[in-house]
Amino acid sequence: MQATQAFIESQGGPEVIDWREVTLDKPGPGQVLLRHTAIGLNYIDIYHRDGTYPVQLPGGLGLESAGEVIAVGEGVHSFQPGDRAATFGPERTAYASARLVSAASLFKLPPTIDDETAAAALLKACTVEALVERCAKVEARWPVLVHAAAGGVGLILVQWLKAIGATVIGTVSTEAKEHAARAAGADHVIRYKNDDVAAHVREITDGQGVPVTFDGIGMATWDVSLKATARRGLIVSYGNAGGPVTGVNLGVLAQHGSQFVTRPTLFDYYHLPGERAAGAARVFEMIESGAVAVTVGQRYSLQDAARAHADLEAGRTTGSTLLIP
């Protein structure tokens, strides 16, 4: 089978993304040949491309995709040709019209979830499930701060938190993103370019601060997160869109009220097969019930991936972004 695949030979700006035509062999033992119908764009793709996260070179890009199983290799019993499936990695080869992928990394899609929804949501929603329910263990009626509340993960975070009964305080950059966050259910939305976020959060929480802050921005919001989080509260620092948090003096956590901080990664929470199965089942349940609606803010053709990266880095996207082969 012929396929178009992205590859990078060096890390850098969007311009390092190149393309090649390849012939895919029959799947080997434990493998599946997957023809893509939709590919999810995530900020981690930018980290792999720009050098924030070291990767083996030359190599592919992209973790998240959905499509149709074309063929299966020896020992694969959980899938058959014609099945619809999706994955969020760890194979870093999703920017492709088709690819060979480990069957163990695939999830069979329920009939009620279409391919675009799966590709737009699986990695982000599994991230949210892990952050909210396993990492922070958020409880009903807690006030919670969500930075970048109108982003791909942010919009799902807002909806998930509302579904379990939390009070959501979101930060956004523009009026349009404020509308998106409010439509997702945010109780309070703060424009961080105009307002003192930490002071506003303290005002909303009667001076206490929030017990949990979800911070996917990183260094640019680190100080705000410290000031907005309550005594003995938890900062969940899960992204680097505003630069990685480095050089942290642990004494700062004591100064702000004996706070906790964690830097989780999805694959540590989806490490064992049982963890992966339970997490994905919970995600599908939330989407099927309507508690989480997936917003596809923009679609690009597969080979416009460089433009999609540039738009995501510049903050010109809302919700999830798809690449369409």
Which pLDDT does position 48 carry in this prediction?
Answer: 96
- Which of 263, 283, 316 is the last residue in one of the domains? 263
Identify the CATH number of the domain in which residue 66 sits.
3.90.180.10
Task: Say whether both 177 and 233 belong to one domain.
Answer: yes
Whether 237 is in a domain gets the answer yes
* Confidence class for position 41, pLDDT limits 50, 70, 90: very high
CATH number for the domain harbouring residue 251: 3.40.50.720
Residue 280 is assigned to a structural domain of this protein: no
Q: Could you read off the pLDDT of 226-284 as tens digits, one per residue? A: 999 999 999 999 988 888 898 888 999 999 999 999 999 999 999 998 999 999 999 99
Please indicate, yes or no, whether residues 212 and 176 belong to a single structural domain of this protein.
Answer: yes
| Residue 22 shares a structural domain with residue 117 | yes
pTM: 0.88
Q: Note whether 57 and 150 are same-domain residues.
A: no
Whether 277 maps to a domain, the answer reads: no
The three-state DSSP-derived secondary structure of the chain is CEEEEEEECCCCCHHHCEEEEEECCCCCCCEEEEEEEEEEECHHHHHHHHCCCCCCCCECCCCEEEEEEEEECCCCCCCCCCCEEEECCCCCCCCECEEEEEHHHEEECCCCCCHHHHHHHHHHHHHHHHHHHHHCCCCCCCEEEECCCCEHHHHHHHHHHHHCCCEEEEEECCHHHHHHHHHHCCCEEEECCCCCHHHHHHHHCCCCCEEEEEECCCHHHHHHHHHHEEEEEEEEECCCCCCCCCCCCCHHHHHCCCCEEECCCHHHHCCCHHHHHHHHHHHHHHHHHCCCCCCEEEEEEHHHHHHHHHHHHCCCCCEEEEEEC
pLDDT at position 324 over 90: yes
- In the chain, the number of structural domains is 2
Query: Are 23 and 77 contained in the same domain?
Result: yes
Does 272 fall in a domain? Answer: no
Q: Is residue 42 part of a domain?
A: yes
Residue 64 located in a structural domain: yes
What residues make up the domain containing 36? 2-122+294-324
Position 132 in a domain: no
Residues 118 and 146 in one domain: no
Q: Above 90 in pLDDT, residue 194? A: no
